[in-house]
Amino acid sequence: MEKVCPVCNGLVAVAENCPRCGRRLVDGGALENYFGPYSPYMDVASFQQGAPDVHCVHLLYCPACGYDVRAAWDLVAI
């Protein structure tokens, strides 16, 4: 069974509000996407470095006030 991120795969929607201004936070994607120019196209296993990962960390940001936070979602088996 393969484990996938429910947010990356559209199984759940981000429903968090900004603690500063109250507007809806936007999902900026998985943090792995920010590691390098080709990282969004690389296999998730290449970031795990030998240990199976159980979370996918995303950058959430507020387009209104600039607040950002990291949030982790548990991987789910498909």
Q: What is the pTM of this model?
A: 0.76
For residue 41, the model assigns a pLDDT of 59
Highest mean pLDDT among 6-15, 42-51, 52-61: 6-15
- Number of domains, the chain: 1
Query: Range of 66's domain?
Result: 3-77
Distances (CA, A) of 46 to 15, 21, 53: 29, 37, 11
Provide the 10 A C-beta neighbour count for residue 37: 6
The yes-or-no verdict on residue 59 having pLDDT over 90 is: yes
